[in-house]
DNA sequence: GGGGATCCACTGTTGGATCCAG
DNA sequence: CTGGATCCAACAGTGGATCCCC
C-alpha cells in the first residue's frame, strides 16, 4: 500500500481523531487548550482565522473532530455536542446557536426524538474570551461538560414544544425572539431577504424566512455561574 | 432611483434578455451566431472558456438567456429548451443530456406531466463544431427549432415509461445504458463514488448513484439528417 | 462506438457563530 | 441589551455537457 500525499494534512499527523475517544479523554484534550490563544491554535492546526463561526471550527479542529460529517451530535460515537461560549469577565455575551427550525423536520419530531434535545443532552462548553479584544488574541478558557438537570430539561421541553408546534404549522414567521424562556427562535440566513420553500399544515407551498433555535444568553449564563460559582473567569 | 454598479455586468448593456422574445426573434438571434467562433463569443459576452458544459453556458449567454433561474424549460415564457449538439462533418458525436432521473420525482410524474416531455417539446438545437479542433476555435453552426413528431413522441414516451417505472421503484441501479431506443439512463455525478439518499417503493431509505436521461446519439443524428438532408454541415 | 466516468461553475444549504441599531 | 441581521467556509446539488477505455 502507499500513502497519498494529499490526505496528509499538516495537523493530521499530530492529532488523532476522537471518534473512538472516551468522554474523559475528550475533556482532557479540551482542558489542554485552556489559556491558549486562538492564533496559536490556528497555526498549530492549519486552521484559517476568520470571522464569527471560524472560532468554533478552529476549536473543533484543535480537538481533532471531523467537520460536517454527522447529523446530530458532533461526536457520533459519544453523543457530545461541542459549543464555544463567548465570555468576558465571567459574563456570557451572546446567545448560542442550537439548530435550524424547519416545518417539515419539526412536524416529524417530538421532544424525545428532537434534534434539539439530542444536541443539548451532553455539551462540551468551551468558554472563549470575547468583547473588545482582537480575535487572534482571544484565549480559550476552562472547558466543561454539561447536561441539563431536571429543571433545565423541563424548561427546554416546554419552550421547544411551544415553538416547534408553531413552526411545524408554518407559523414561525409570526414568532418573535421574545417567545420562550430558555430557547428562542431567531432568523438564520445570509440576510433578511432569504426565503426557502416549505409546506404548511394544509399542504400549500409557502416561502419562509429560515429560522433557528438559540439558547438565550441568560440560560447559558446560569450554567456558567453554577460551574464556576459566579467567580470572574475568562 | 439610482443604478447599482455591481449589477452592470459587461454584457448586460449589449444583450437584452429574451424572456419576452418571440420564437422567431430567438431563432433570428441564434442564426446570427452561425459561423462565429466560441472564443469570439466568450470575449463578446464576458463568458469564460472552460471544459465540457462551458460551451452550453456561453451560448446561452450569447442568446441573452439568464442561467439557472427556471425549472423546466430554459425560457419560461416560451417553453423552449436550448441544447448544443457536438457535430463533425454532419455527424453528431455525443449523446445529449436531458435531465436527472430521481425516484421521488419520477414516482410523481406521468409522461404527460414529465420534465423530459416538457423539455423536449420544443428545442432550439445549436450545432457546434466538435472533434479534434481546439475548443476555442470551434464554430457555431446553423441553429434550428425542433419538436418531436408523432413517431418521435411515441418512442420517447415508451422509453420514458419503461425507465421511469424502474427508477421510481429505486431499481435504476440495475439499468444499463443499453436499455431504451431513443432515451437512455446514464450515471450523472462528479465520479462513480457519489451517492444520494432516496426512498424506495416500500419507503426504505437507500443510497443510489445519481442517474440521468440522455438522448442517444442515433436519435439526434436522425434529427440532424432530416433537417439538413444528410449533407455535410458543421 | 458507446457505456460508464468524469469535468466545471454556480447556487443553495448547513453548521459554525457574532454584529449592531434602536 | 437583545432581537433581528449578518458573516464565512465547506459541502451538496444542479445544469451544462464531453472524456475515454473496453
Q: Which residues contact B172 (CB under 8 A, 6 or more apart)?
A: B101, B103, B163, B166, B185, B208, B211
Cβ of A190 less than 7 A from strand C? yes
**Cα distance between residue B76 and residue B72, in whole Å:** 8
Percent over 90 (pLDDT), chain B: 61
Instruction: Using a 7 Å cut-off to protein CB atoms, list the covered nucleotides of chain D.
Output: 2-19
- Residue A111, phi then psi, degrees to nearest 5: -55, -45
Beta bridge partners of B145: B124
**Cα distance between residue A157 and residue A111, in whole Å:** 6
Q: Which string of DSSP letters, residue by residue, matches chain B?
A: ----GGG--TTTTT----TT--HHHHHHHHHTTTT-BHHHHHHHHTPPP-STTHHHHHHHHHTTPPSS--SSSSBTTTTBEEEEEEEETTEE-S-EEEEEE-HHHHHT--GGG-HHHHHHSSEEEEEEE-SSS-GGG-BB---EEE---HHHHHHHHHHHHHHHHHHHTT-GGG--TTS-SSEEEEE-SSSTT--EEEE-TTS-EEEE--EEEEE-HHHHHHHHHHHHTT----
Per-residue pLDDT of chain A (234 residues; tens, 9 = 90+): 232 223 333 333 344 454 456 889 999 999 999 999 999 999 888 788 778 888 999 999 888 887 654 455 666 567 899 999 999 999 999 999 999 999 999 999 999 999 999 999 999 999 999 988 888 899 999 999 999 999 999 999 999 999 999 999 999 999 999 999 999 999 999 999 899 888 877 888 888 999 999 999 999 999 999 998 856 555
Nearest-CA residue relative to C1' of C1: B93
DSSP state of B75: B
Cβ proximity of B56 and B193 under 8 Å: no
pLDDT at B5 > cutoff 50: no
pLDDT at A216: 98
**Cα distance between residue A48 and residue B223, in whole Å:** 54
The separation, in Å, between residue A129 CA and nucleotide C19 C1' comes to 16
Name the residues in B89-148 having a C-beta closer than 7 Å to nucleic acid strand C: 95
Nearest-CA residue relative to C1' of C19: A52
pLDDT digits (tens, 9 = 90+) for A197-210: 888 778 888 889 99
The separation, in Å, between residue A93 CA and nucleotide C18 C1' comes to 10
Report yes or no on whether pTM surpasses 0.85: no
Cβ of B205 less than 7 A from strand C? no
Q: Which residues contact B59 (CB under 8 A, 6 or more apart)?
A: B33, B41, B82, B84, B126, B128, B140
Nucleotide closest in space to A98 (CA vs C1')? C15
Give 3-state DSSP helix, strand, coil % of chain A, rounded to 5: 35, 20, 45
Greater confidence (B9 vs B227) lies with B227
Q: Is B136 helix (H, G, I), strand (E, B) or coil?
A: helix
The separation, in Å, between residue B44 CA and nucleotide C3 C1' comes to 37
pLDDT digits (tens, 9 = 90+) for B31-53: 999 999 999 999 888 888 778 88
Name the residues in B19-58 having a C-beta closer than 7 Å to nucleic acid strand C: 48, 50-54
pLDDT at A18: 47
Name the residues in A39-58 having a C-beta closer than 7 Å to nucleic acid strand C: 51-57
The separation, in Å, between residue A187 CA and nucleotide D2 C1' comes to 14
Q: How far is CA B25 from CA B62, B66, B146, in A?
A: 14, 16, 15
Nucleotide closest in space to A190 (CA vs C1')? D6
The separation, in Å, between residue A100 CA and nucleotide D10 C1' comes to 18
Nucleotide closest in space to A68 (CA vs C1')? C15
Cβ proximity of B226 and B111 under 8 Å: no
Grade residue B90 by pLDDT with cuts at 50, 70 and 90: very high
Amino acid at each position: 500500500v502507499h500513502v497519498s500525499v494529499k490526505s496528509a494534512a499538516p495537523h493530521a499527523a499530530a492529532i488523532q481523531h476522537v471518534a473512538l475517544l472516551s468522554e474523559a479523554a475528550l475533556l482532557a484534550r479540551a482542558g489542554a487548550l485552556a489559556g491558549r490563544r486562538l492564533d496559536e491554535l490556528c497555526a498549530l492546526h492549519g486552521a484559517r482565522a476568520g470571522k464569527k463561526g471560524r472560532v468554533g471550527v478552529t476549536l473543533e479542529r484543535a480537538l481533532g473532530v471531523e467537520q460536517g460529517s454527522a447529523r446530530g451530535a458532533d461526536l457520533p460515537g459519544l453523543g457530545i455536542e461541542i459549543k464555544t461560549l463567548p465570555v468576558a469577565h465571567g459574563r456570557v455575551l451572546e446567545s448560542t446557536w442550537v439548530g435550524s427550525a424547519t416545518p417539515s423536520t419539526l412536524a416529524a419530531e417530538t421532544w424525545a426524538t428532537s434534534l434539539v434535545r439530542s444536541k443539548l443532552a451532553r455539551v462540551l462548553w468551551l468558554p472563549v474570551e470575547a468583547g473588545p479584544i482582537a480575535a487572534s488574541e482571544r484565549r480559550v478558557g476552562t472547558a466543561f461538560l454539561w447536561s441539563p438537570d431536571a429543571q433545565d430539561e423541563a424548561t427546554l421541553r416546554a419552550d421547544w414544544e411551544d415553538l416547534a408546534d408553531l413552526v411545524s404549522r408554518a407559523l414561525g414567521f409570526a414568532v418573535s425572539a421574545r417567545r420562550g424562556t430558555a430557547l428562542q427562535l431567531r432568523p438564520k440566513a445570509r440576510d433578511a431577504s432569504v426565503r426557502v420553500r416549505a409546506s404548511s399544515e394544509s399542504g400549500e407551498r409557502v416561502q419562509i424566512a429560515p429560522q433557528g433555535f438559540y439558547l438565550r444568553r441568560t440560560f447559558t449564563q446560569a450554567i456558567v455561574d453554577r460551574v464556576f460559582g459566579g467567580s470572574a473567569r475568562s
